[in-house]
Amino acid sequence: MKHKQPLIIAFDTSCDDTSVAILEGRKVLSSVVSSQVEIHAQWGGVVPDIARREHEKNIPMVYEEALKKAKIKIEDVDYVAATYGPGLAIDLEVGLAFAKELAIKYNKPFVPVNHMEGHMFSGLSLNTKGNGLVPGDMSEVEKLFPALGLLISGKHTELVLVEKIGSYKKLGETLDDAVGEAFDKVGRMLNFGYPGGPVVCEFAKKGVSGNIKFTIPMKNSGDMNFSYSGLKTAALYKTKELREAGKQDKEWVYDFCRGFLDTVIDSLNLKLKMALERNHSVKTLFVGGGVFNSEEIVRKIGNIARSYGLNYIYSEQEYRGDNAGMIGVSAYFNILNGKYISNVDEIRKVDRDPRLSL
Ligand code: ZN
């Protein structure tokens, strides 16, 4: 079978998910994710050493399954792509080494991908249906810029100005905890287990806004940076205060989650508005990262985008957490921009970069 668009195989092992995807251009043909969440749950968070061992064990199977699901043979693939950063060093290494070996063995060009660029453009996969705005044609995609990217996950909280694909300026980032991290830590205070963040968002649905309030962090900082460490500490004191007053958790936990979620959303909206007020040429808001698994966060951030008349682009839920599908989409843009490596010695030299920035 002849394919019009390049066939790409993409790998991501930046944290605790082992993921391989096959794409035809921006269309994800298969995306297999082997989650380790149950293994790490007993430790209350991701243990890099255990994650590496699991990646090494799982990657050959995940690779075979991705090919099988897409009905593609490795010989027919045109490019091999992998995340090289940011992420946990020893975990990044597993997927990167596997992908490089594959590229060399089958004589395919290699595409190194920035994980955060993957999150940002996950909504540009042709599998996205929800937001009704996924231009099939690249000339249409180009009209989306300049844009703003809001990336929130367990490790990252970033606001990025995107002049065009490949050209980024970081406007703000967290000075301490990432949003997802703060959610999980609050989940732990409430004995929700790991990861507790999704439970906080779920419980918030039953709470009443305003019954338990927190101060919006960095409200008057005058810049576009974020901070969630202070909010986390305020949440801890609040739980102590309520428990010491003899109140049962079930009496206040829904309102507590509501108050926490409201405050996080307010803090994101505040910085987003600031970025939009200072960058009038922006036409589109891209959002990505695991925290967007919360439909409420997607909707409320979307309200801001709409009030500024922006295109609002986010992916289907299955591509919001870590996955190799988004890495393939980003690889496709890199390929169009000539950012791939054909020389075997150069491929060997590609090194992981745990602190890689956009
Ligand atoms: Zn991620």
Q: For residue range 155-178, what is the model confidence (pLDDT) as tens digits?
A: 999 999 999 999 999 999 999 999
Question: To 5 degrees, how large is the angle CA 310–CA 312–CA 315?
Answer: 165
Cis bond upstream, residue 195 (ω within 30): yes
Number of structural domains found in the chain: 2
Q: How many angstroms is it from 12 CA to the middle of ligand 1? A: 9
User: How sure is the predictor about 204, in pLDDT bands with cuts at 50, 70 and 90?
Assistant: very high
User: How sure is the predictor about 41, in pLDDT bands with cuts at 50, 70 and 90?
Assistant: confident
Specify if 108 maps to a domain.
yes
* Residue 218 φ then ψ, to 5°: 60, 25
Q: How many angstroms is it from 290 CA to the middle of ligand 1? A: 7
Q: How many angstroms is it from 325 CA to the middle of ligand 1? A: 12
Q: How many angstroms is it from 15 CA to the middle of ligand 1? A: 7
Q: How many residues does the chain have?
A: 358
- Name the residue range of residue 34's domain: 7-128+318-349
Provide the pairing of β-strand 147-152 with 157-164.
Answer: antiparallel
Tokens of 52: 């590496």
Q: How many angstroms is it from 152 CA to the middle of ligand 1? A: 9
* pLDDT value at 231 more than 70: yes
What residue type is 98 in one-letter code?
A: F
Q: How many angstroms is it from 86 CA to the middle of ligand 1? A: 9
- Decide: pTM greater than 0.75: yes
Specify if 247 maps to a domain.
yes
- In terms of Cβ atoms closer than 10 Å to its own Cβ (0-12, 13-18, 19+), residue 161 is buried
163/281 Cα distance (integer angstroms): 10
Q: How many angstroms is it from 331 CA to the middle of ligand 1? A: 16
The pLDDT mean for the chain works out to 95
Q: How many angstroms is it from 55 CA to the middle of ligand 1? A: 16
Q: How many angstroms is it from 119 CA to the middle of ligand 1? A: 7
Q: How many angstroms is it from 79 CA to the middle of ligand 1? A: 22
274/220 Cα distance (integer angstroms): 11
pLDDT at 132: 55
Asked if 177 and 123 sit in the same domain, the reply is no
Q: How many angstroms is it from 14 CA to the middle of ligand 1? A: 7
Asked if 171 and 276 sit in the same domain, the reply is yes
Are 121 and 333 spatial neighbours (Cβ–Cβ below 8 Å)? yes
* Residue 71 φ then ψ, to 5°: 55, 45
User: Residues 235-281: pLDDT tens digits?
Assistant: 999 999 999 999 999 999 999 999 999 999 999 999 999 999 999 99
Asked if 226 and 292 sit in the same domain, the reply is yes
User: How sure is the predictor about 42, in pLDDT bands with cuts at 50, 70 and 90?
Assistant: confident
Are 352 and 85 spatial neighbours (Cβ–Cβ below 8 Å)? yes
Provide the pairing of β-strand 79-85 with 110-114.
Answer: parallel
Are 269 and 306 spatial neighbours (Cβ–Cβ below 8 Å)? no
275/288 Cα distance (integer angstroms): 17
Q: How many angstroms is it from 19 CA to the middle of ligand 1? A: 12
pLDDT at 252: 97
Q: How many angstroms is it from 116 CA to the middle of ligand 1? A: 7
Are 311 and 133 spatial neighbours (Cβ–Cβ below 8 Å)? yes
Asked if 302 and 233 sit in the same domain, the reply is yes
Tokens of 316: 């289907």
User: Residues 136-148: pLDDT tens digits?
Assistant: 788 889 999 999 9
Q: How many angstroms is it from 321 CA to the middle of ligand 1? A: 6
Specify if 39 maps to a domain.
yes
Q: How many angstroms is it from 306 CA to the middle of ligand 1? A: 26
238: CATH = 3.30.420.40
Q: How many angstroms is it from 288 CA to the middle of ligand 1? A: 9
User: How sure is the predictor about 3, in pLDDT bands with cuts at 50, 70 and 90?
Assistant: confident
pLDDT at 71: 98
Are 7 and 76 spatial neighbours (Cβ–Cβ below 8 Å)? yes
What is residue 189's three-state secondary structure?
A: helix
User: How sure is the predictor about 229, in pLDDT bands with cuts at 50, 70 and 90?
Assistant: very high
* pLDDT value at 130 more than 80: no
